[in-house]
């Protein structure tokens, strides 16, 4: 389980599915840093910090 870099507490998995089809958030390779990682279409897992509400995304 990821840990918040600011609060040093365990982050909780969150449901980040949208109304676009219920398939979750995916990385777009339209340029920038994410595009350079060549992770087009990779599913992302979201984790929420219960202390500061920071959300981090992790690619599968």
| Contact footprint for Zn ion (CB under 5 A) | 4, 6-7, 49, 51-52, 54
Q: What is the DSSP string of 9-53?
A: SBPEEE----TTTS---B---SSHHHHHTT-TT-BEEEEE-TTT-
Smallest gap from residue 29 Cβ to Zn ion (A): 29
Smallest gap from residue 47 Cβ to Zn ion (A): 10
Nearer to Zn ion, 10 or 40 (CB): 10
Q: What is the Cα Rg of the chain in Å?
A: 13
Smallest gap from residue 14 Cβ to Zn ion (A): 13
């Amino acid at each position: 389980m990821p840990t918040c870099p600011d609060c040093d507490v365990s982050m909780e998995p969150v449901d980040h599915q949208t109304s676009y089809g219920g398939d979750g958030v995916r990385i777009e390779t339209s340029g920038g840093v994410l595009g350079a990682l060549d992770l087009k279409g990779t599913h992302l897992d979201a984790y929420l910090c219960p202390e500061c509400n920071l959300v981090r995304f992790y690619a599968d």
